[in-house]
Amino acid sequence: MTSRPAAGGGRWVEVDPTRVARWVEGFADRHGPPTTTIQEYGLLLAAPDGATAELHTPPGAPASADVPKFVATAAAPRRLGLLLARKGAVAVGIAAGEKLVVSKVDTRYVQGRTAAGGWSQQRFARRRDNQAKAALADAVELAVRLLLPEAATLAALVCGGDRRAVDTVLAERRLAPLAALRAERLLDVPEPRHAVLVGAIAAARAVRILVRDPGPAA
């Protein structure tokens, strides 16, 4: 389980789907038995002491009316497409449950920024821009070849890395069926490698919970 501060207050925790039931039990033990209401993002747990927990439905899982169904659907195996892009590297894959069944990683050299000025700086900038465009073109072709034929079998497409790079890839007209499956979640990943792609499966399946503790008593 990972935790980090949330903008606007509270904290985000990411919980493995198989541990959500235990997490909810712990929340109830700490704050009292919560009420459950259905929300667009998933379920809202509101405890008697004022603490709340927003359980966000993970990518590809159907909406649920209560915690037991939420837990069951979150943990159920489903096929997810993965598209990770950052700088000159791209990784695409398909996960069946927790297993990576299709994968491909491609890396192109993209020149770093230079401190030189004048004409030289402009020349390097143009070269770097051309290298980045070529890398993204490769990413498009990988997605067309590996992900697009499987689009009808995917519950969702989970992306990670640099948002601008991912947006550029999915703007390709041929990838419209994949863009329609894109999950809101953007995974924070380093430069894509095979190990990063494998690790992205757990992150894509994790249940994100926004926790807000009760305020001070009046």
- Looking at per-residue pLDDT, the higher value among 105 and 88 belongs to 105
- Given a cut of 80, whether residue 88 has pLDDT beyond it is no
Q: How confident is the model at residue 47 (pLDDT cuts 50, 70, 90)?
A: very high
Task: Identify the pLDDT of residue 84.
Answer: 96
Q: Which residue has the higher pLDDT, 58 or 138?
A: 58
> Which phi-psi region, left, alpha or beta, contains residue 189 (left: φ > 0; alpha: ψ -120 to 50)?
beta
pLDDT value at 5 more than 70:
yes
pLDDT at 3 over 50: yes
Which tens digit of pLDDT belongs to each residue from 18-43? Answer: 999 999 999 999 999 999 999 999 99
The Cα–Cα gap between 184 and 72 comes to: 21
Q: What would the pLDDT profile of 159-186 be if each residue is shown by its tens digit? A: 999 999 999 999 999 999 999 999 999 9
- At 111 the pLDDT is 46
Task: Give the pLDDT of residue 20.
Answer: 97
Nearest to 50 by CA among 78, 67, 71, 30: 30
218, pLDDT greater than 50: no
Mean of pLDDT values over 114-142 = 62
Burial of 37 (0-12, 13-18, 19+ CB in 10 A): exposed
Domains of the chain and any CATH numbers: 2-76+206-212 (no CATH), 79-202 (3.30.420.60)
Mean pLDDT of 195-213: 96
Distance in angstroms (rounded) separating the CA atoms of residues 142 and 82 = 12
pLDDT for res 216? 62
Distance from C-alpha of 37 to C-alpha of 24, rounded to nearest angstrom: 14
Both ends of the chain: CA-CA distance in Å?
A: 33
- Report the pLDDT value the prediction gives residue 89, as an integer from 0 to 100: 86
pLDDT tens for 99-120 read: 999 999 987 644 455 445 444 5
pLDDT of amino acid 214: 86
Q: Is it the case that residue 53 has pLDDT exceeding 90?
A: yes
